[in-house]
Amino acid sequence: MVYPNVNLKRVFGNVSTVIARKKTEDPDGTNEGGTQLARVLGLGDLTLLGVGSTLGVGVYVLAGAVAKTDAGPAVTLSFLVAAVASALAGLCYAEFAARVPKAGSAYVYSYVTVGELAAFVIGWNLILEYVIGTASVARAFSSYLDTMTGNVMADTLKEIMPIRVSFLSAYPDFLSLGIVLVLTALLAWGVRESALMNNIFTAFNLLTVLTVIIAGLFKVSASNWSIPKSAIPKGVRGGEGGFLPFGISGVMAGAAKCFFGFVGFDCVATTGEEAKNPQRHIPLAIVMSLIIIFLAYFGISTVLTMMWPYYDQDIHAPLVITFKNVGMPTISTIVSAGAIFALCTSMLGCIFPLPRVLYAMGVDGLLPPFFCHIYQGTQTPVLATLSSGIFSGIMAALFDLEQLIDMMSIGTLLAYTIVALCVLLLRYRDPKPAMYEPKTLKEESCIIRP
């Protein structure tokens, strides 16, 4: 048998070229003709999208938990350190958003600078992150409402529809599935309508935070920031007392946890083809949202630790319990209502970027082309939106996702790291080195349906 001569050098050279090929930067992509998506999001919409997706239910829980277990009253410093770290990541996203105003966030940024293989990995990493995030927030929303009604839903479904599989939930959570499908339908209806709903929910959430801070100021006591060690009850983990009961190491340990309270602003970077002026508004929205989020966390942590001793904080519902302890039960009720709005905006912030990533990968041919089908009636990637919402809803209904939270955190850190690396590469390489011009919506791969 005669075997044909195979030029291995040429074969591997072609493979490496495909792996390393890059998307060409498109500085003119902001033109109206550069996208079939609706450019309707202004600076206010983008800022509230970043605030809403980031300032979730954690604002009502995180400060108390970190104060009790890690930092004490110095949780305020932990949030400051976390805010600085998040700002550095945010500035990287802001710089890329100005250079590459396209849908896709870290996926597109890595495609432009590192290459197709890295972009493919990051794209799937983002998909996993947003799917798990959507499902986990939906699960938390369902659990929160069920708890307020005495666990009626959980007890009933465990009895009539039990699931006896170790890695699945004990019962099908239809409420989680339902809320995800409702928000998915809202997103498919149009980005303008979903942005309006997000603005309303985020405004209520911020109003709740402001109410908590103002009400808490009437009950603060500076003595709670200088509690001596002798005043800490025996058997209670309270460190050395004072403002830094657990030392600088406690502040840094708390900052590591507080950092995840700032995760979510990156969804703004997926709106590159729906922002009215992406090169200006997206960077501004990222910075402004991080400032608002820091002020909210700093204000909450300040009044919380000055109202009640840090070592006696409730780690599950610190604000609710603290306001009851100081004789302000009405504020506790307001906090409970605010948590619902916070969960809604967090869920919308997780669902919103997912179809944009699928759309961007579909445009580039890394996913089936139906993901980039745009319906002119809504000017949204309807198929990508519906498929991502249905899949996320099914996961929320069937899985207990606590074990997947760490995986989501790893995905977030990986995306931030890649974006920071890409900024360095973008600054020190030739401005136009790309070898691959991606497909556009005008080609056959992406069909625009009436």
Beta bridge partners of 436: 23
- Residue-range domains of the chain with CATH: 42-430 (1.20.1740.10)
Helix, strand, coil share of the chain (percent; to 5): 70, 0, 30
Strand boundaries in 280-415, DSSP class E: 374-375
DSSP 68: I
DSSP 157-190: HHHHS----TTS-SS--HHHHHHHHHHHHHHHH-
d(CA 48, CA 66): 26
- As a residue count, the chain comes to 450
Q: In 10 A of CB 279, how many CB atoms?
A: 16
Residue 208's pLDDT is 92
- Going by C-alpha positions, the residue among 106, 96, 83, 108 that lies closest to residue 283 is 96
d(CA 45, CA 267): 12
169, two tokens = 């939930």
Residue 447's pLDDT is 47
Per-residue pLDDT tens digits of the chain, which is 450 residues long: 444 554 544 444 444 555 555 555 554 444 444 567 778 889 999 999 999 988 887 788 888 889 998 889 999 999 999 999 999 988 888 888 888 888 778 888 888 888 888 888 888 888 888 888 888 888 888 888 887 777 788 888 888 888 887 777 788 889 999 999 999 998 888 888 889 999 999 999 999 999 999 999 999 989 999 888 888 888 888 888 889 999 999 999 999 888 888 888 888 888 888 888 888 899 999 999 999 999 999 999 999 999 999 988 888 788 888 999 898 989 988 988 888 888 888 888 889 889 889 988 988 888 888 888 887 777 888 888 999 999 999 988 888 766 556 566 677 778 888 888 888 887 776 555 443 344 443 444 454 445
Task: Decide the pairing of beta strands 448-449 and 374-375.
Answer: parallel
pTM of the shown model: 0.83
d(CA 99, CA 103): 12
d(CA 302, CA 288): 21
Give the pLDDT confidence of 197-221 residue by residue, as tens digits. 999 999 999 999 999 999 999 999 8
Residue 438's pLDDT is 42
d(CA 157, CA 173): 8
- Going by C-alpha positions, the residue among 283, 371, 268 that lies closest to residue 95 is 283
For residue 87, give the amino acid letter: A
- Going by C-alpha positions, the residue among 184, 151, 142, 180 that lies closest to residue 395 is 180
DSSP 360: H
Q: What percent of the chain has pLDDT over 70?
A: 85
> For residue 5, what are the contacts with CB-CB under 8 A and spacing of at least 6?
none
Residue 48's pLDDT is 94
Buried b / exposed e along 200-237 (16+ C-beta atoms within 10 A): ebbebbbebbeebbebbeebbeeebbebeeeebeeeee
